[in-house]
């Protein structure tokens, strides 16, 4: 019996060590910005004229042009089953839409968002879609709901988080989008939004799925350095890059209990491009190739907050 117990403990120890060992994946023929979304890689070319979706086997699934029917995709997201959602808008029109594509790139549906212009899209764990939108047309100067919730069928399931509630600048009620950058995230119990709602430092805003505001955090370290969230793990933890003029590879973690961004000890060894479950995904880029590394977030340590 003691021998069996020792064997079980040995196997458990080996399993724990394997679980902490970073897993890697190699991607080729990348030509620009990349982000990781639910097991799939999104890659834009340097001119943002084309986007390529890479499957779980690290091979290209399909590519699509930047413009479709005169409209440009602002942001794309991929669900865990390979369904792709793209937020589109046109400067000539006052209606937005979210196109749905299968894993081969075929458009299989479109959600008309009306005067709400989707700038960011993200899939929730239940496979519904959340979008960050601004309102266009004659209602543009009025208060509006930022987050819109949709079923894959196109049915609108709800709206949440008014512009006035987050303290947005009433003279500039526009939800921005940064090409190739994810600003909207979702975890098991919350939505996180990287927002520029007023001049100065950006704000990290969190709400639950019923629309209740959970918290707002200035996106800066205690040293006054700007941070840029790049991953929200399945459990809801937020990890961000620290913007520094002379150093690369510094990361920080949102400590909600203290309301501060705690710097991560050490270096993740690459560009933070997303998360996979509770693993952080970083990319080491060499020309048109990228080696992705998956590191358990639980294995990382944070430094003490600096005041």
Tens digit of pLDDT for each residue in 230-288?
999 999 999 999 987 655 678 999 999 999 999 988 777 789 999 999 999 999 999 88
* Torsion sign across C-alpha atoms 95, 98, 104, 105: positive
From 93-102, 106-115, 285-294, the region with the lowest mean pLDDT: 93-102
Say if residue 102's pLDDT is above 50. yes
For residue 46, the model assigns a pLDDT of: 84
- Taking the model in full, what pTM does it have? 0.86
Domains of the chain, by residue range, sit at 28-218, 219-307
pLDDT tens per residue across span 16-65: 333 344 578 899 988 788 999 999 999 998 888 889 999 999 999 999 88
Q: How far apart are CA 268 and CA 302, in angstroms?
A: 12
- At the topology level, CATH places domain 28-218 in Neuraminidase (2.120.10)
Name residues whose C-beta falls within 8 Å of residue 199's C-beta, 6 or more positions apart in sequence.
169
Name residues whose C-beta falls within 8 Å of residue 105's C-beta, 6 or more positions apart in sequence.
53, 61, 62, 63, 64, 84
Contact 270, 280 (CB under 8 A): no
pLDDT tens per residue across span 109-164: 999 998 888 999 999 999 999 999 988 765 556 788 999 999 999 999 999 999 88
248 DSSP assignment = -
- What would the two tokens of residue 70 be? 């005169």
User: What order of strands is seen across the sheet that includes strand 84-89?
Assistant: 72-78, 84-89, 96-101, 107-114
Exposure pattern of 30-51 as b/e (b: 16+ CB <10 Å)?
A: bebbbbbbbbbbbbbeeeeeeb
């Amino acid at each position: 019996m003691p021998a069996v117990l020792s064997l079980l403990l040995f196997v458990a120890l080996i399993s724990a060590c394997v679980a902490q060992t970073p897993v890697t994946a190699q991607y080729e023929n990348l030509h620009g910005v990349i982000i990781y979304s639910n097991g799939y890689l999104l890659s834009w070319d340097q001119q943002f004229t084309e986007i390529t979706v890479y499957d779980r086997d690290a091979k290209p699934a399909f590519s699509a042009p930047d413009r479709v029917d005169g409209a440009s995709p602002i942001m794309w997201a991929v669900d865990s089953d390979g369904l792709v959602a793209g937020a589109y808008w046109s400067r000539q029109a006052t209606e937005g839409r979210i196109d749905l594509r299968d894993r081969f790139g075929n458009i299989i549906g479109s959600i008309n968002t009306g005067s709400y212009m989707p700038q960011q899209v993200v899939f929730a764990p239940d496979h519904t879609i959340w979008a960050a939108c601004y309102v266009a047309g004659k209602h543009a100067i009025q208060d509006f709901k930022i987050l819109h919730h949709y079923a894959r069928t196109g049915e609108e399931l709800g709206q949440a988080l008014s512009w006035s509630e987050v303290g947005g600048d009433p003279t500039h009620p526009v939800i921005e989008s940064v090409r190739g950058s994810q600003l909207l995230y979702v975890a098991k119990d919350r939505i996180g939004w990287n927002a520029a709602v007023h001049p100065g430092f950006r704000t990290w805003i969190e709400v639950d799925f019923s629309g209740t505001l959970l918290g707002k955090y200035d996106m800066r370290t205690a040293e006054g350095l700007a941070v840029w969230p790049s991953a929200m793990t399945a459990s809801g933890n937020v990890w961000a890059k620290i913007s520094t003029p002379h150093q690369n590879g510094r990361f920080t973690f949102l400590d909600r209990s203290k309301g501060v961004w705690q710097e991560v000890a050490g270096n993740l060894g690459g560009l933070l491009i997303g998360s996979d479950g509770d693993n952080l995904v970083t990319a080491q880029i060499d020309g048109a190739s990228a080696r992705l590394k998956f590191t358990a977030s639980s294995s990382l340590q944070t430094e003490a907050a600096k005041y």
